[in-house]
A and B are shown apart, each in its own frame.
Chain A
Amino acid sequence: MLRRSLLAGSAAVLAAPFIAPSVKAQGRTEIQFWYGLGGALGERVAEQVQRFNDSQSRFRVNATVRGSYVEVMTGAIAAWRAGTPPHIAQVFEVGTATMMAAGPAIRPVYELLGEAGIELDPRRYLPGVRGYYSDTQGRLISMPHNSSSAVMWLNLDAFERAGLSTTELPRTWAQVRAAAARLKERGGLEMAVTTAWPTWVMYEQMSSIHDVGLATRANGFEGLDAEMNLGHPFFAKQTSMLLEMQRAGEFTYGGRDGGGGAAFPAGRAAISFNSSAGRAAIEREARFRWASVVLPFHDDVIASPRNGVIGGASLWTLTARNRTAEEYRGVAEFFRFISDVEQDKWWHQVTGYVPLTLAAYEASRAEGYYERNPGADAAITQLSRAEPTPNSQGFRLGGFVEIRNIIQEELERGFQGQQDAATLLANANRRSNVVLRNFERANRRT
């Protein structure tokens, strides 16, 4: 029993997996690539890697699924500490600040490409995607890979039963609430409104769309000394609305993280908020007419909503003592390959992630993809409808995984009726600031 308690404590230290150092197989330089997408999306990644390997004979990317996003990140960090990291690690967007603060452990994309002599103009990438993964000088640090945004999914059959229009869909929260009241009475489904990823949708996306900072110092982009801004009246308004809707039976809490996502494709919720990357699953499973539209906004707070933020993950190049220039070159070539317009267009259309490049978006539009698949561009519209402000360019907060969970926990206490919106936000703000200060102290370079 001693062993177990200690293992948990030093898990990350000890969990250094044994991976073979890169070797030249059949004269090719091997590139290790760890990622965290299972199921259909994971298969698409494997397909793309296979195409890269077939496209040339100098490098071989060896892609392996390493569990969830969290597991990939902690596994890669533990491997780096043990001196055997993969060349490429897929890290989810909330891990961005942690990775960026890890100076010597990572090789920024602009440096990597510069050394390889590959020209890749950052302006090729969608602004909302580019901003999240760039430094303050606008240079790409990690490679955009799979980016989504949150959208609103509507069950049109339920709308019809409730006597609501199926063409004039809700655009504002006031309209969503009005629809929810009708859907609860006459929609014929178990839930009127639910959500997946409560913090991401209801706080991160909403703060961005309404141009209210989630944290000071441009959401942490300008320094590690950022503080949470949950005391802003906007968050009180947003939170009170959620709690009221829940009490009125119009909103049903579906659990943490992705937990609330299953209700919509199963036809149990009339309105759901989830990642645009859920499209493939909904297309396959939904036995009803549905639509996906941009997220609603409070029209008494902002007249024309700003851009939303992305979710998903990006690819990070990790350093190692014995890593050769040829290996870095292979990583750079792989990054160039996935940014290629044809590759990117394919990736966007088969996965439901937004395209990485503007060119792939244009190409998809030119071939009529969005006319055949209405709503597939909702996420792109939402990401690019306005030039990002310091409040809407994304988040660079240390310990963001923990902050997300703190907000979820406090929200759960609110839904349980243990605390009102003001207390909920004050608690979340206080606890999150502790996380930010600890991160600042641990990462201060002297």
Chain B
Amino acid sequence: MRRKVIFSGTALPYALLAPQLAITVVFFFWPAAEAVWYSFLRQDAFGISTQFVGLENFEDLFADPLYLQVVRNTLVFSLAVTALAMAVALLLAVLADRHIRGRETYRTLLIWPYAVAPAVAAVLYIFLFHPNIGLLGRALNGMGIAWDYRLNGDQAMLVVVLAAAWKQVSYNFLFFLAGLQSIPKSVLEAAAIDGARPVRRFWTVVFPLLSPTTFFLLVINLTYAFFDTFGIIDALTKGGPANATQTLIYRAYIDGRVNLDLGSSSAQSVALMVAVMALTLVQFRFIERKVHY
């Protein structure tokens, strides 16, 4: 009986929540449900004839050796981008945290790449690495190294990893810098008095205390490498040569939007969604245990 009395009081909170819930449903759940539904269909481009094919789209996908290659590419790419972007950012943050002249300018400049659009970043890398017009590309060829990322798959992977990591360094740098500044000076001073040298102080005191930041960035960077690097790959290599830089998200785009095969593209999106949910679960279950807050 008491509950019914409270009911009029809950209407208002629900009403206030409604806009946010509506946005979530319309922009998150509805498209998600749509993708799941499409993954069971085979349809022509215009949607004129539709067949329900059950799990066939998924069976075709996992029977395709090229899809497995794409999975490998995605793992290599994501791990490389994450490792590189985080390592470089940490190094730069440690350096920028010291008392040096022009520290503010130095920090501001390091944040710039984050403001560069992915496609523009890719064009910058073309001007650096293109075998005919790129500064470094020409220099490498001039030194007798056969450099041509348009034909060499490993070189293509290297270029997209560099471009993708470069763009993410700024973001990581900001968080690492903030993390470093929140480490109490007294802890470092105590370690110094105990005779710990800078390198030892870093690995035994600073790095463990940074672990919440590092963990957060690990999640963010993997997500970035999985989903936000589309523009860089599209502008630099279009997934080539011979699928060497095709990642899961890029292939879902190609199959859905260029090849107009919505069924397969939706199946790939669903597979990707499941993979990312699993990955996030693993991260929070196992890696977070090692994080000291």
Interface residues of A (CB under 8 A from B): 1-14, 70, 74, 77, 80-81, 98, 101-105, 190, 253-256, 259, 263, 268, 399, 401-402, 405, 408-410, 412-413, 415-416, 418, 435, 438-439, 441-446
Q: Does B178 contact A (CB under 8 A)?
A: no
A13 to B43 Cα, complex, angstroms: 12
User: Lowest 5 A-B CB distances belong to which pairs?
Assistant: A9-B269, A412-B242, A9-B35, A402-B259, A412-B241
Task: Decide if B31 touches A253 in the complex (CB within 8 Å).
Answer: no
Task: Decide if A416 touches B153 in the complex (CB within 8 Å).
Answer: yes
Chain B residues lying within 8 Å of A410, measured Cβ to Cβ, are 242
Q: Which of B27, B153, B241, B272 lies in contact with A3, CB distance below 8 A?
A: B27
Task: Decide if A253 touches B46 in the complex (CB within 8 Å).
Answer: no
Q: Contacts A3-B27, A12-B260 given: A81-B47 contact, CB under 8 Å?
A: yes
Q: Contacts A9-B269, A410-B242 given: A1-B276 contact, CB under 8 Å?
A: yes
B34 to chain A, nearest CB (A): 5
Task: Decide if A102 touches B256 in the complex (CB within 8 Å).
Answer: no
A270 to chain B, nearest CB (A): 15
A6 to B276 Cα, complex, angstroms: 12
A1 to B277 Cα, complex, angstroms: 10
Chain B residues lying within 8 Å of A101, measured Cβ to Cβ, are 44
**Interface 1/0 per residue, B223-260 and A, CB below 8 Å:** 10011101000000010111100000100111011111
Q: Contacts A77-B45, A441-B42 given: A13-B152 contact, CB under 8 Å?
A: no
A441 to B51 Cα, complex, angstroms: 9
Closest residue of chain A to B24, judged by CB? Answer: A3
Chain A residues lying within 8 Å of B151, measured Cβ to Cβ, are 253, 412, 415-416
Task: Decide if B227 touches A4 in the complex (CB within 8 Å).
Answer: yes
Q: Contacts A77-B260, A442-B49 given: A1-B223 contact, CB under 8 Å?
A: yes
A401 to B261 Cα, complex, angstroms: 11
Which of A6, A7, A80: most chain B Cβ within 10 A?
A6
Q: Contacts A5-B276, A443-B44 given: A413-B242 contact, CB under 8 Å?
A: yes
Q: Does B150 contact A (CB under 8 A)?
A: yes
A294 to B260 Cα, complex, angstroms: 34
B242 to chain A, nearest CB (A): 4
Chain B residues lying within 8 Å of A418, measured Cβ to Cβ, are 242
A78 to B262 Cα, complex, angstroms: 11
Chain B residues lying within 8 Å of A446, measured Cβ to Cβ, are 49
A80 to B47 Cα, complex, angstroms: 10
A4 to B230 Cα, complex, angstroms: 11
Q: Does B71 contact A (CB under 8 A)?
A: no
Q: Which of B45, B48, B150, B269 lies in contact with A8, CB distance below 8 A?
A: B269
Task: Decide if B258 touches A104 in the complex (CB within 8 Å).
Answer: no
Chain B residues lying within 8 Å of A255, measured Cβ to Cβ, are 150, 240
Chain B residues lying within 8 Å of A442, measured Cβ to Cβ, are 42-44, 49, 51, 261, 263
**Interface 1/0 per residue, B21-49 and A, CB below 8 Å:** 00000011001101100110011111111
Which of A5, A259, A435, A444: most chain B Cβ within 10 A?
A5
Q: Does B211 contact A (CB under 8 A)?
A: no
Task: Decide if A416 touches B42 in the complex (CB within 8 Å).
Answer: no
**Interface 1/0 per residue, B151-190 and A, CB below 8 Å:** 1110000000000000000000000000000000000000
Task: Decide if A259 touches B150 in the complex (CB within 8 Å).
Answer: yes
Closest residue of chain A to B261, judged by CB? Answer: A438
A202 to chain B, nearest CB (A): 16
A442 to B265 Cα, complex, angstroms: 14
Task: Decide if A13 touches B32 in the complex (CB within 8 Å).
Answer: no
Q: Does B120 contact A (CB under 8 A)?
A: no
Chain B residues lying within 8 Å of A103, measured Cβ to Cβ, are 48
Chain A residues lying within 8 Å of B258, measured Cβ to Cβ, are 70, 74, 401-402, 405
A-B contact number at CB 8 A = 148
Q: Which of B49, B150, B260 lies in contact with A98, CB distance below 8 A?
A: B260
Task: Decide if B47 touches A11 in the complex (CB within 8 Å).
Answer: no
Q: Contacts A11-B257, A104-B48 given: A6-B273 contact, CB under 8 Å?
A: yes
Chain A residues lying within 8 Å of B238, measured Cβ to Cβ, are 256
Q: Does B266 contact A (CB under 8 A)?
A: yes
Task: Decide if B272 touches A5 in the complex (CB within 8 Å).
Answer: yes
Q: Does B73 contact A (CB under 8 A)?
A: no
Q: Which of A2, A12, A443 lies in contact with B256, CB distance below 8 A?
A: A12
Which of A77, A255, A263, A268: most chain B Cβ within 10 A?
A255
Q: Does B268 contact A (CB under 8 A)?
A: yes
Closest residue of chain B to A103, judged by CB? Answer: B48
Other than the given A442-B43, A444-B49, 12 more pairs (CB < 8 A) read A70-B257, A101-B44, A102-B48, A105-B46, A401-B259, A401-B260, A402-B259, A409-B243, A412-B241, A413-B242, A416-B241, A418-B242
Chain B residues lying within 8 Å of A7, measured Cβ to Cβ, are 31
Chain A residues lying within 8 Å of B240, measured Cβ to Cβ, are 255-256, 408-409, 412
B144 to chain A, nearest CB (A): 15
Chain B contacts with A in 117-155, Cβ cutoff 8 A = 132, 150-153
Chain A residues lying within 8 Å of B276, measured Cβ to Cβ, are 1-2, 5
Q: Does B93 contact A (CB under 8 A)?
A: no
Closest residue of chain A to B220, judged by CB? Answer: A1
Task: Decide if B49 touches A1 in the complex (CB within 8 Å).
Answer: no
Q: Contacts A253-B151, A442-B49 given: A416-B31 contact, CB under 8 Å?
A: no
A438 to B261 Cα, complex, angstroms: 9
Task: Decide if B256 touches A254 in the complex (CB within 8 Å).
Answer: no
A312 to chain B, nearest CB (A): 19
Q: Does B270 contact A (CB under 8 A)?
A: yes
Q: Contacts A3-B31, A4-B249, A416-B241 given: A11-B227 contact, CB under 8 Å?
A: no
Which of A7, A399, A435, A442: most chain B Cβ within 10 A?
A442
Task: Decide if B32 touches A6 in the complex (CB within 8 Å).
Answer: yes
Task: Decide if A9 touches B270 in the complex (CB within 8 Å).
Answer: yes
A44 to chain B, nearest CB (A): 26
Show 14 residue pairs from A and B whose CB-CB distance is below 8 angstroms, ordered by the A residue: A5-B273, A6-B34, A8-B249, A8-B265, A9-B35, A9-B38, A9-B39, A9-B265, A9-B268, A401-B258, A401-B259, A410-B242, A412-B240, A445-B49
Closest residue of chain A to B249, judged by CB? Answer: A8
Task: Decide if B266 touches A9 in the complex (CB within 8 Å).
Answer: yes
Chain B contacts with A in 39-97, Cβ cutoff 8 A = 39, 42-49, 51
B62 to chain A, nearest CB (A): 14
A102 to B46 Cα, complex, angstroms: 7
